[in-house]
Structure 1
Amino acid sequence: MKMKVIVAPDSFKGSMSSTEAAASIKEGLQAYDPDMTVKTIPMADGGEGTVDALLSILGGTRIEKEVFDPLGREITASYGWINHTKTAVVETAAASGLPLLDTQELNPMETSTYGTGQLIADALERGAEKIILGLGGSATVDAGTGCFQALGVHFLNDKGEKLDMCGDSLSSVSNIETDSMHPRMSEVEWTIASDVTNPLLGEKGAVAVFGPQKGVTQEQLPIFEQKMTQYASVVEDHTTKKCRHINGSGAAGGFGFTLFSLLDQPEVESGFRLIAEWSDLKGHLADADLVITGEGKMDSQSLYGKVPVGIAQMAKEAEVPCIALTGKVEGDLVAAKSEGLQVILPIVDEPMSLEEAMSRGKELCKKASHRFMEVYHM
C-alpha cells in the first residue's frame, strides 16, 4: 500500500518560500520512494508567503505593480489575483516588509505602508470584489496610515495641513478626512488574515512587542508608545469606535487598529486557519500516514501560534505522526512533543555558516527529507 505524506511547511524566511520548501521536501521524499503519494500544502500565517500559499490552493496569477518600499523608493511588488472570484490577495510584507530593508536601513520613524496602499488601490481599480489582506512582516510602525494615505485618506495636523504619514507623523495627526477615501473601499468584502492577537498599546502592544524588530530602540520605545496613544485618541474621536483593545489591533505596527477603525466590520481570520480550511488540510489528514512541516527557525516562540505547531496540533487530532524540518533549533522545545511534534530535525548536515545554509536551503530540505525517510523505515 502506498504511503501518503502531507507536506505543509511555512516559509524559511530569507531562504525559501513555503511553496519552494514544500517542493524540495517532496523531491527528497520521492527520490527515496517514487511510488509515495505526496500532497504539498504550502502554509503561511498572514505574513510573507500568504500570496504564494493561497494562489497554490485557489489558482490565479500574480499582478506586478511599481510601488514605494517602506522608505519611499520605487520597487516592483506584486499581489495575487483570482479572476473568477475577483479576489485580490495582498501581503503587507510585499511592499512594506522587513525583507525589503537591510538591517542598517531600519528606521521606524521614516518607514511607511504607502506601498501596500498602492497595491490595494490597483486591486480596487481592477474590479476586486474581495480583498484578503495578510498582516505580518512589516518594517513599519505607522499604524497603516501610509496605506490609507495612498487610498485617499487625509491625515491633517493642527493647522489643517496634509501630512505625509510615517511613524514619526503619528503624533502630529489632529484630524482625519475619510470622505476622500477611495470610493470602492466600502464596496469590497474584506478579510484580514493575521495570527497576531496583540492589542495596540501597552506591554503586549504593537510598539513594545514588535517595535524592536522593526528598529525601535529602547530609548525610542516610550516615544513611539506616546505617538501611538495620541494617534489612537484622534482616530477614536473621529470614528467614535474604540478599537485599541481589539485583539489584533497591534498587528503590523498598529495597522490592525486603523483597519478596524476605518473599515466597516472587516472579517478577521487566523492566517493559518484560513489556509488550512481552504486547502482542506483536515480532509487530507484523514488518510495520511505522516505529516512534514517546518520553518526557518524553531524556538520557544514557535510554540505560540506558529504554523508548525498549528499543523502538529491538527495532525495529533487526526492521530497522524508529525515532524518538522528547520534551519535552526534554538532554546527549549521539549514541550513541542505534547503539541504533536514528534521530531524536530535540523536540515543542516555539516558545519556551515548561516549564509551558506540559507543559500542552500532547497538542497538541504531535499536531503533532510530523504535522510528522515531512511531512518523512519529502519
Structure 2
Amino acid sequence: MKILLAPDSFKGSATSKEVVSAMEEGIKQMIPEAEIMKAPLSDGGEGMSLILTEKLGGILKKAMVKGPLGDEISSYYGLVDGGRTAVMDVASVIGLPLIPEERRNPLKTSTEGVGELISEIWNEGVERIIIGLGGSSTVDGGTGMAQKLGVIFYSGEKKLERMCGGVLNEITKIDISFLHSKVKKTKFIGACDVVNPLLGKHGAAAVYGPQKGASPEQVIFLEKGLANLSLRMKEFLGKDVSEIKGSGAAGGLGAGLVAFLEAELCSGIELVMEKLGVEEMVKNADIIFSGEGKIDSQTSSGKAVAGVLKLALKYNKPAVLIGGIIDPALAKSGIKGVLEMESLVSESISVKEAMKNTRKLISLSAKKLISQFIEC
C-alpha cells in the first residue's frame, strides 16, 4: 500500500516534518510494509523557506532583524537556484508565536523586520525573492516593510516615525521618491496562505484581527486604517489593490507587496506542491493523509489541506485528515473527498494537553485512521 503524508504544520506544537514523522510512526504500527511518500507542506506560513531550501538543495542563512514589536530577533532565509532566488517566511520575522499572548496587539505590531530582511537578502545579489505570507501578527498593510525600504508616510506635514496598524488612519500622503533602487531590479513573489481581500467582512482586519489580539473595537479601527491606506495607495501610487485575491494576507502585507514592490501574488500551497512534486505523489498514492492545527471554514481558503484535497479529488484518491481542532459543524457536515477526520482535541483531551502531546496524539490518530481504512 502506497500512502502519501502531506500535512501542514500544527502551529506552535509541531512542524510539518514532525507531523509527517508522527503519522508514519502510527501507520507503520499497523502496516509495517507500507510504502510511505513524504511531503511536509507549508501554505506560505511557518516553515516554507525551510521546506523549499531543503528540497531544492539550497543554503539556509541567519539574519538579525526587528521582530513585530521592534525587539531584535534572529530570523533566516534560504538561497536556492544557484543563489539567484531567496526564500523567506514572514512568520520567522513577525510571526504570532513570537509575541506572548498578553502582549499581542495588531495596533502596535509592524512589518518593519520584513523590510530589514529583504535588505539583508539583497546583499546576496539575488534576482528573485519568494515571500511566504502566512502566520503574521501584523495588520499594517505592509507599511512597516515599505518604510524600511525607503517609502515615506506623512500625516499632514509630519513624517510618521514607525509604521504599524495603529497609525494607518493618520496617513495623508505617501512618497515613494526614495524607494530603494533594487526594488525595480528584483522580482517579488508573495506566496499567500489565504485568498482574502484587503477590506470588508472577508478582509484582513475583520477575519484575522481577532486572531492577532484585536478587540471588536480595534477591528473596526484597523478596518478604517486599511481603508485609508487603500485610498492613499490609489491617490499617490495609482494602484487599487483592495480587491486583489490575497491582498489581505499577513494583515494586508499582500497588498503592500503589490503596491510598493510590484509583487506577484500566488497560492503558497500550489507553489510548494509544485516544487515538491506532490501531484505525481498523489497519482501514485492509495490513500492520502493530510491535516493542520485547525480545520475550519478557512481551510478551503488557500490553505495546505485545501490544495491536497483538490488533487485528491482530481485523481479520485481517498483522503483522511488529522486536525488539532476540527470545527464541530465541519466535522458533522464533512468535507468533499474526505473519508474520515480525527481531532486531537476531544472531550477527554484539552487544547493545552493536545499541544503538549501533539506528536504522540498524531501518531495515535494515524494508527486509528489507517485501521478504519483497512477495515473498509
TM-score by length of 1: 0.91
Q: Give the partner amino acid of 1:299.
A: D
Unmatched 5+ stretches in structure 2: none
SS at match of 1:332: helix
Corresponding letter in the other structure for 2:217: E
Q: Which residue of 2 aligns with 1:135?
A: 133
Residue pairs, 1:49-88, within 5 angstroms: 49-82=47-80, 84-88=82-86
Contact 2:258–2:264 (8 Å) recurs in 1: no
1:10 is displaced (CA, Å) by 0.9
Instruction: Determine the C-alpha separation between the residues in 1 that align with 2:94 and 2:270.
Output: 24
Map residues 320-339 of structure 1 onto 2, 5 A cutoff.
320-333=317-330, 334-337=332-335, 339=336
The aligned residue for residue 287 of structure 1 is: 284
Alpha-carbon distance in structure 1 between the residues aligned to 2:154 and 2:349:
52
Determine helix, strand or coil for the equivalent of 1:245: coil
Q: Which residue of 2 aligns with 1:269?
A: 266
Give the structure-2-normalised TM-score: 0.92
Match of 2:224 in 1: 226
Structure-2 change in CA distance of 1:231 and 1:57 (3 Å):
same
Alignment match, 2:370: 373
> How far apart are 1:287 and its partner, in Å?
1.9
Distance in 2 (CA, whole Å) between partners of 1:53 and 1:202 is 33
Answer yes or no: is 1:146 the counterpart of 2:125.
no
Equivalent residue, structure 2, for 1:356: 353
Cα separation, 1, equivalents of 2:154 and 2:181: 20
> Helix, strand or coil: the match of 1:238?
helix
Specify the SS of the correspondent of 2:196: coil
State the 1:143 CA deviation: 0.8
Q: Among 308, 312, 315, which residue is 2:309 paired with?
A: 312
CA distance in structure 1 between the partners assigned to 2:130 and 2:285 by the alignment: 30
Q: Output one character per residue of 1:279-317: Cα deviation in whole Å (capped at 9) or x when no partner.
A: 221111222111110111223433444322331231122
Within 1, Cα distance between the matches of 2:297 and 2:257? 30
Q: Give the equivalent residue in structure 2 for 1:243.
A: 241
Partners of 2:324 and 2:257 lie apart in 1 by: 34
Contact 2:345 2:351 in 1 (8 A): no
Structure 1 runs not aligned, ≥5 long? none
Judged with a 3 Å threshold, the aligned counterparts in structure 2 of structure 1 residues 322 and 194 are, in CA distance, closer, same or farther, namely: same
Residue 122 in 1 paired to residue 120 in 2?
Answer: yes
- Indicate the SS of the match to 2:334: helix
Q: CA RMSD in A?
A: 2.1
Q: How many residues align?
A: 374
Per the TM alignment, residue 341 of structure 1 is displaced from its structure 2 partner at its CA by 0.8
Q: Which residue of 2 aligns with 1:8?
A: 6
Give the counterpart of 2:183 among 185, 196, 203: 185
1:341 lines up with 2:364 in the alignment? no
State the percentage of identical aligned residues. Answer: 37
In the alignment, structure 1 residue 39 sits paired with structure 2 residue 43: no
- Partner Cα separation in structure 1 for residue 259 and residue 345 of structure 2: 45
Amino acid at match of 2:278: L
CA separation in 1, counterparts of 2:157 and 2:131? Answer: 33
